[in-house]
Chains A and B, each alone.
Chain A
């Protein structure tokens, strides 16, 4: 886990200011890899026409995603190892929280 003391003071202020993608005390994974693991582990079922309800980061608020990962359960089973290693799940959590429906970066400009 990344040491919290390594995060500069200015960055803490910014994150708190924005209602922030990462909360105090919350470990941070890789946004880029989280997107990949989310597609690999979750979207296989959670897609339009899939076996479960379609999901994107926008499907929940940051608090709702946090609650889901804090509970650590998927259909009554532990998230890990079924949906990935703890490191991979941290990446997925980071990606989903960073782009949740109430996050500061929910949508890009596109073309």
Chain B
């Protein structure tokens, strides 16, 4: 199908991408149809898709997609649909609990909210008195009420408010920010040539990228080149799959740059106008020939050369896709930097079908006089060890190392919101050691996660379908502001995070920072939405979005990029000043010894986070994880599918069943995340399969501090 025909079909209202069928310009001001259900926003993963909750007689009957969101469009995935079961799951936390036995013993005493608040506040005060506010750690993952948890930690005076990005995408965001001053989106709807390296976008769903990739490759016949040691669903739909040697993506990209620059296939006018450091880059990539890269990547030089030429020819409608979870190797930042540079030199910046700087939807803010800045520096010493990383987010693994050593000072209280560090961090043994050395551990969650299982007090949070949250802006090519409103009354004795923060704040003398309701907070945000009667609009529609993409707004002579020089920095002085390579330098990764394998990880549509494996509908698709191993080593080790294996690394040992498959390189093994739970209250996955976090060793990217989760070698044998 021709692009024009496809766009016309979209304009005519195909079911593929319904929002584009709307003829409105600017903000979407009203819904196209009668919205059957309560508009709210999914929370099962970071995508935050809009949905309509159908409620009958006070119970959730169905969740439907809300087509008014230009980002999630008329799509709600399997994970999103499974949220109903989360509400009615008998494994949910139903009331506050205080530990009655040893940590991890599973003995709990149900208590009132007052008793839980008093208990936690007294413990926090005791730690503060002995070690100062910096003796407390407040860690969380993303969520609309995360702001209240973070605020409580900051108001308490702790510098150790720890967010999740260094377990996720910090190396990618830092690499693109260092180069462009911002993190762009990739216009997969309009790209003609897409390279994805390990971003398994057909299985690990990101909206709108997954839908756009389907539209682009399946309908519009855009070219998809896919690099991955595993034959994934994305590989099966790609035009080319190259089972690249793990850890060598940077060599592939540098060789592409070598071809494009030495053959002068780059966008000369764009490079001249908008970038800094081209001459240094040209000299830098000369040794990185395709013949050299073939030896590193095991991808034929002829293929690398052909792909580089085709990529440059297709530009600006060509993208080397950034990926999202970028916690792979210790050189991850430099690999993502090379991606960013490759994209820059072909001039796909801010063009249709290229990379597009994100737009945002304006919203208001509930403001109040904040607390004093903390007096102590952070325990992870991020400013000293990772001066370019986001200091407010922190660096998780170096933090754990310092807490275990007790340097630069002791941390003895750990509050955790909506996160399961026992699975989110590599080396579960170390995380458990960190928990055990705490005087106090408090967890806020909707289910008894493995971390909650080892806590002293567990605060049950209301499910997202039972509460109202702040308005959140989702930046992108099709940005949206989304609203999460209560669809049903809380089923159990649970509270939203704001109420939990208020309960603790009252006892900690911090009520001045929480003297408002969620309604007041949201109304302040809604006041500045780009629609009339913002609050009323959100209650009726749940979303404000921009339907029309804008291209080229930063392609003008006066635009200053948010970098040190104001240009797109191919060569980075700031990196050089901080002691890092100003241009990406390749170092060959260590290879597993003959009797070992590299453990690699990945996601699929029905499992992204460890918290999802216990949900019945998702569990039906993933009853137990297994270890993918290639037939060649399997034969050598006399392993057959279904055999119980013992897999060990320097961090730990697990038992897991074998899946013998040619869909993985012989030097790697693969397993899904989120199984082998210790918590007996997660009945479907308690002691079922194995936890990757037990095997993964501690390693991080040198520049961003991002966890490096593909640096572990394991020994595999029959149990």
User: Which residues of A are in contact with B by a Cβ distance under 8 Å?
Assistant: 10, 14, 17-19, 30-33, 35-36, 39-40, 47-48, 58, 61, 101-102, 104-111
Contact check, B370 vs A40: say whether CB atoms are below 8 A apart. Answer: no
Q: A17-B578, A109-B390, A111-B472 are in contact. List 13 more A-B contacts (CB 8 A).
A: A14-B384, A32-B371, A33-B369, A33-B370, A33-B372, A33-B373, A35-B370, A36-B367, A36-B369, A48-B362, A105-B392, A106-B181, A109-B393
Q: Name which residue of chain A comes closest to B178, CB basis.
A: A104
Q: Name which residue of chain A comes closest to B384, CB basis.
A: A14
A10 to B173, CA, bound (A): 27
Q: Which residues of A contact B666 (CB under 8 A)?
A: none
Contact check, A104 vs B387: say whether CB atoms are below 8 A apart. Answer: yes
- A111 touches which of B182, B384, B474 (Cβ 8 Å): B474
Q: Which residues of A contact B310 (CB under 8 A)?
A: none
CB-based A-B contact count at 8 angstroms: 79
Known contacts being A19-B564, A101-B181, is A39 close to B367, with CB within 8 Å? yes
Shortest 6 CB-CB contacts between residues of A and residues of B: A109-B165, A109-B173, A106-B562, A101-B562, A111-B142, A32-B370
B661 interface hit (Cβ, 8 Å) = no
Contact check, B392 vs A14: say whether CB atoms are below 8 A apart. Answer: no
A23 shortest CB reach to chain B, Å? 15
Residue of A30, A33, A102 most packed against chain B (CB within 10 A): A102
Q: Which residues of A contact B474 (CB under 8 A)?
A: 111
B506 shortest CB reach to chain A, Å? 22
B365 interface hit (Cβ, 8 Å) = yes
Q: Which residues of A contact B142 (CB under 8 A)?
A: 111
B392 shortest CB reach to chain A, Å? 7
- As a 0/1 sequence over residues 550 to 576 of chain B, the CB contacts with chain A under 8 angstroms (1 = contact) are 000000000010111110000000100
Tally of contact residues, B, Cβ under 8 A: 43
Interface of B is mostly: loop
Q: Which residues of B contact A36 (CB under 8 A)?
A: 367-370
A59 to B372, CA, bound (A): 26
A35 to B373, CA, bound (A): 12
Contact check, A105 vs B373: say whether CB atoms are below 8 A apart. Answer: no
Chain A to chain B contacts (Cβ below 8 Å), 10 pairs = A32-B154, A36-B368, A36-B369, A39-B367, A48-B362, A61-B566, A102-B562, A104-B574, A105-B391, A111-B46
B475 interface hit (Cβ, 8 Å) = yes
Residue of A18, A48, A105, A109 most packed against chain B (CB within 10 A): A109
Q: Which residues of B contact A18 (CB under 8 A)?
A: 387, 574, 577-578
Q: Which residues of A contact B163 (CB under 8 A)?
A: 109
A90 shortest CB reach to chain B, Å? 13
Contact check, A107 vs B562: say whether CB atoms are below 8 A apart. Answer: yes
A38 to B48, CA, bound (A): 30
B177 interface hit (Cβ, 8 Å) = yes
Q: Which residues of A contact B165 (CB under 8 A)?
A: 109
B522 interface hit (Cβ, 8 Å) = no
CB-contacts of B360-384 with A (<8 A): 362, 365, 367-373, 383-384
B169 interface hit (Cβ, 8 Å) = yes
Contact check, A30 vs B373: say whether CB atoms are below 8 A apart. Answer: yes
B388 interface hit (Cβ, 8 Å) = yes
Residue of B163, B373, B475, B578 most packed against chain A (CB within 10 A): B373
Q: Which residues of A contact B173 (CB under 8 A)?
A: 109
Contact check, B387 vs A107: say whether CB atoms are below 8 A apart. Answer: no
B183 interface hit (Cβ, 8 Å) = yes
Contact check, B564 vs A102: say whether CB atoms are below 8 A apart. Answer: yes
Contact check, B384 vs A10: say whether CB atoms are below 8 A apart. Answer: yes
B71 shortest CB reach to chain A, Å? 12
- As a 0/1 sequence over residues 183 to 227 of chain B, the CB contacts with chain A under 8 angstroms (1 = contact) are 100000000000000000000000000000000000000000000
Q: Which residues of B contact A33 (CB under 8 A)?
A: 369-370, 372-373
Q: Name which residue of chain A comes closest to B391, CB basis.
A: A105
Q: Which residues of A contact B254 (CB under 8 A)?
A: none
B170 interface hit (Cβ, 8 Å) = yes
CB-contacts of B122-164 with A (<8 A): 142, 154, 163
Q: Which residues of A contact B181 (CB under 8 A)?
A: 101, 106-107
A19 to B560, CA, bound (A): 18
Contact check, A19 vs B372: say whether CB atoms are below 8 A apart. Answer: no
Contact check, B367 vs A107: say whether CB atoms are below 8 A apart. Answer: no
Q: Which residues of B contact A19 (CB under 8 A)?
A: 564, 574, 577
Q: Which residues of A contact B183 (CB under 8 A)?
A: 107, 109
CB-contacts of B3-34 with A (<8 A): none
Residue of A14, A30, A101 most packed against chain B (CB within 10 A): A101
Contact check, B367 vs A40: say whether CB atoms are below 8 A apart. Answer: yes
- A108 touches which of B46, B384, B388, B393 (Cβ 8 Å): B393
Contact check, B370 vs A107: say whether CB atoms are below 8 A apart. Answer: no
Residue of B365, B372, B387, B475 most packed against chain A (CB within 10 A): B387
A58 to B384, CA, bound (A): 24
Q: Which residues of A contact B472 (CB under 8 A)?
A: 111
Q: Which residues of A contact B169 (CB under 8 A)?
A: 109
B590 shortest CB reach to chain A, Å? 29
Q: Which residues of B contact A40 (CB under 8 A)?
A: 367
Q: Name which residue of chain A comes closest to B563, CB basis.
A: A102
Q: Which residues of A contact B387 (CB under 8 A)?
A: 14, 17-18, 104
Q: Which residues of A contact B393 (CB under 8 A)?
A: 108-109
Q: Which residues of A contact B566 (CB under 8 A)?
A: 61, 101-102
